């Protein structure tokens, strides 16, 4: 690898000191380096895929920040298939391969080609309004359909492959990939899944019932969430979010359909430690 883009979350790297040290390290080894600084508005804003000019496509993107920056980068660079190396400057950082104290040994291995690339499944979804799909969301972690109004549950139906599954009254529902199982899905009480698995996890958020649990679905399944009328017959308002960022308004009669994307995120891995070892470290 000779061409690198360093993408950094400026709120996690004040003064871009870590960014500059990584740039200096790579340049000293004869690498071509570009730097892009992101603020929270960009990280959690609407999706705008990155497009490189001819001859400027990097061999890898080094992502500095937390999981939010990695998720944004996964959506931006998936079309070009550029692999990502995450360096965690935030909290738990499940998606980041490298902690702050291991940056330069990791970069040395990257320059020497001592790594492998792991591919992760992604989700895609779109609003169904008037029987026609509108908008499109892409997610590495999850797509959630949630209530818009505080202190009110929403009523919605869930269909899998066109077959009615269940009617819910809840704060919402999370459809997660294995990678995203340690995100919102985990907070909502869903199971942790090995990230290399191929499946979907459906987890209701604060369901108003005693017997609602997560449901594990095939990666080939298509899930439709359909917003119903309110209990008084009035209109309900909700919204869908992909990876906690892109935001799509929904109302009674709308549906949001989700399926596995044919796109895959490529993540650079330097260590072959098991997922259980990583999980133990992150959760301790």
Q: Report residue 152 as tokens.
A: 């009110």
- DSSP for residue 53: P
Residue 149: φ, ψ to 5°: -105, 130
d(CA 104, CA 125): 38
E strand or H helix at 104: helix 103-112
The CATH class, in words, for 3-114 is alpha beta
The CATH class, in words, for 122-262 is mainly beta
Among 67, 84, 85, CA closest to 12: 67
The reply to whether domains 3-114 and 122-262 share a CATH topology is: no
> For residue 26, what pLDDT is reported?
96
Q: Which residues are the active-site residues? A: 67
Judge whether 85 and 61 are in contact, CB under 8 Å: yes
Residue 166 buriedness (CB in 10 A; 0-12 / 13-18 / 19+): middle
> Would you list the DSSP string of 127-193?
EEETTEEEEEEEESSEEEEEESSTT--EEEEEEETTEEEEEEEESEEEEE-SGGGGTHHHHTTPPP-
Q: Domains of the chain: which residue ranges?
A: 3-114, 122-262
Summarize pLDDT for 168-188 with one digit per residue, the tens: 999 999 999 999 999 999 999
Helices 103-112 and 17-28 pack at an angle, to 10 degrees, of: 30
Q: Tell me how many helices (H) and strands (E) the chain has.
A: 6, 17
Coil vs helix vs strand at 87: strand
Coil vs helix vs strand at 9: strand
- State the pLDDT confidence band at 151, using cuts at 50, 70 and 90: confident
For the entire predicted model, the pTM comes to 0.88
Summarize pLDDT for 79-103 with one digit per residue, the tens: 889 999 999 987 767 788 898 889 9
> For residue 57, what pLDDT is reported?
85
What is the mean pLDDT of the segment spanning 16-41?
A: 91
């Amino acid at each position: 690898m000779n061409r690198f883009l360093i993408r950094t979350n400026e709120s996690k790297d004040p003064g871009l000191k870590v960014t500059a040290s990584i740039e200096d390290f790579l340049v000293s080894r004869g690498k071509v380096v570009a730097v892009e600084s992101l603020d929270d508005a960009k990280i959690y804003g609407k999706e705008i895929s990155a497009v490189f000019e001819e001859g400027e496509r990097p061999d890898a993107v080094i992502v500095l920040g937390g999981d939010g920056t990695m998720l944004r980068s996964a959506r931006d660079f998936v079309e070009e298939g550029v692999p990502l190396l995450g360096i965690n400057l935030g909290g738990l950082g499940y998606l980041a391969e490298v902690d702050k104290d291991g940056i330069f040994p990791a970069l040395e291995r990257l320059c020497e080609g001592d790594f492998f690339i792991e591919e992760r499944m992604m989700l895609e979804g779109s609003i169904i309004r008037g029987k026609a799909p509108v908008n499109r969301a892409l997610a590495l972690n999850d797509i959630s359909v949630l209530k818009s109004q505080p202190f009110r549950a929403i009523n919605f139906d869930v269909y899998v492959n066109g077959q009615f599954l269940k009617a819910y009254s809840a704060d919402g529902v999370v459809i997660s990939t294995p990678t995203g199982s340690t995100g919102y899905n985990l907070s909502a009480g869903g199971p942790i899944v090995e990230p290399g698995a191929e499946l979907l996890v459906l987890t209701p958020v604060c369901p108003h019932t005693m017997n609602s649990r997560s449901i594990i679905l095939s990666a080939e399944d298509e899930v439709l969430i359909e917003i119903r009328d309110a209990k008084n017959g009035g209109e309900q308002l909700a919204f869908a979010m992909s990876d906690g960022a892109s935001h799509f308004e929904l109302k009674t009669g709308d549906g949001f359909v989700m399926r596995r994307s044919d796109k895959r995120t490529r993540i650079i891995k330097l260590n072959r430690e098991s997922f259980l070892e990583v999980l133990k470290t992150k959760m301790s």
